[in-house]
Amino acid sequence: MSGTPSIDARFQRARSREAKDRRETAILDAARELAARDRVRDVTLTDIAAAVGMHKSAMLRYFETREEIFLRVTAAEWTSWADELVAALERGGRRTSQDVAADLAATLARRGTFCDLLAQAPLNLERNVSVDAVRRFKLVTHAQLDRIVGAMRAALPRLTAEQGVDVVAAATAMAGAFWQIATPGAEVAELYRADPRLGHALFDIEPRLQRMIAAMLRGFVGD
């Protein structure tokens, strides 16, 4: 019977490295889009497979688990965030602690999916993958961390490398936690809005994050 082959059939026929790279990219893009819509923890391997038109068993030829897929997405988001943050830090030359804190907070707060991934990575994503997958992820994040700390130290010359690492570690950990707290499910959010005693749970991430990062930086460099 003639006709256009199904999406899954076309996937099965691809053999070149280029075609396999395109499949991996399609899978990662689908996972990122689903996470932005539904949150990381709610996206299943079946959901991702359906979004790219593959059977789940076929998709496992490219990634070990859903956790590996999202670990790869997290690594890509680290790189994207570092690109934006380093560009922001380098625009103004020497800066104050408040300036640097503002750049860190703003670039994190507008990346909701990245904040979600930052919380999920140590809790879940690094725990159901191979050691090699974790190693690859850590090498990417460490490279981006080095870039960020270098830009921070150029803006704040009194900041040491160790202090810079501490600030980024604290900023990303807080961003991940704050995002989870500040973006509850619809029913819980309505509860918070309806009860004045609980309203404090709904807050803007950026100003709180900026205040805490600024306090940490002032403690290190004094300005």
Same domain, 106 and 203: yes
Q: Are residues 163 and 72 in the same domain?
A: yes
Check residue 186 and give its pLDDT: 83
Q: What mean pLDDT do residues 121-147 have?
A: 96
- Band the pLDDT of 60: cuts 50, 70, 90: confident
Angle of the 161-182 helix axis to the 205-221 helix axis, nearest 10: 160
Check residue 3 and give its pLDDT: 46
pLDDT at 197: 87
69/159 same-domain check: yes
Q: What pLDDT shows up at residue 131?
A: 96
Angstrom distances, CA of residue 222 to CA of 71, 119, 158, 218:
37, 30, 9, 4
Q: Is residue 15 a part of any domain in this protein?
A: yes
- pLDDT score of 2 more than 60: no
Owning domain of residue 52: 7-63
Give the C-alpha distances (Å, rounded to integers) separating 189 from 86, 112, 113, 195: 34, 17, 19, 10
Domain boundary among 63, 82, 111: 63
Angstrom distance (rounded) from CA 88 to CA 216: 20
Which tokens hold the place of 11?
């996937």
Q: Is the CB of residue 144 less than 8 Å from the CB of residue 78?
A: yes
Q: Indicate whether 2 belongs to any domain.
A: no
Does 6 score more than 80 pLDDT? no
As a whole number of angstroms, the distance between CA 152 and CA 216 comes to 13
Query: Per-residue DSSP letters for 65-134?
Result: SHHHHHHHHHHHHHHHHHHHHHHHHHHTSS--HHHHHHHHHHHHHT-HHHHHHHHHIIIIITTSS-HHHH
- Is the same domain home to 47 and 70? no
For residues 42 and 80, state if they share a domain. Answer: no
The answer to whether residue 135 sits within a structural domain is yes
Separation in Å, CA 73 to CA 29, 59, 123? 8, 16, 16
Q: Are residues 85 and 133 located together in one domain of the fold? A: yes
SS3 90: helix
Domain containing residue 88: CATH number: 1.10.357.10
Virtual torsion, Cα 11, 16, 18, 21, nearest 10 deg: 50
- Mean pLDDT value of segment 109-114: 97
CATH value at residue 33: 1.10.10
Nearest to 150 by CA among 100, 76, 109: 100
- The reported pLDDT for the residue numbered 191 is 86
Is 130 in the same domain as 143? yes
Same domain, 43 and 89: no
Give me the number of domains the chain comprises: 2
- Evaluate whether residue 1 is within a structural domain: no
pLDDT score recorded for residue 4? 41
Q: Is the model more confident about 3 or about 121? A: 121
Residue 110, domain member (yes or no) = yes
CA distances for 171 relative to 97, 129, 139, 178, angstroms: 14, 26, 19, 10
pLDDT at 11 exceeding the cut of 90: no
Same domain? 13 vs 71? no
Predicted confidence band at 27 (pLDDT cuts at 50, 70, 90)?
Answer: very high
70, 58: one domain: no
Higher confidence at residue 3 or residue 168? 168
Query: Is the confidence at residue 12, as pLDDT, over 90?
Result: no
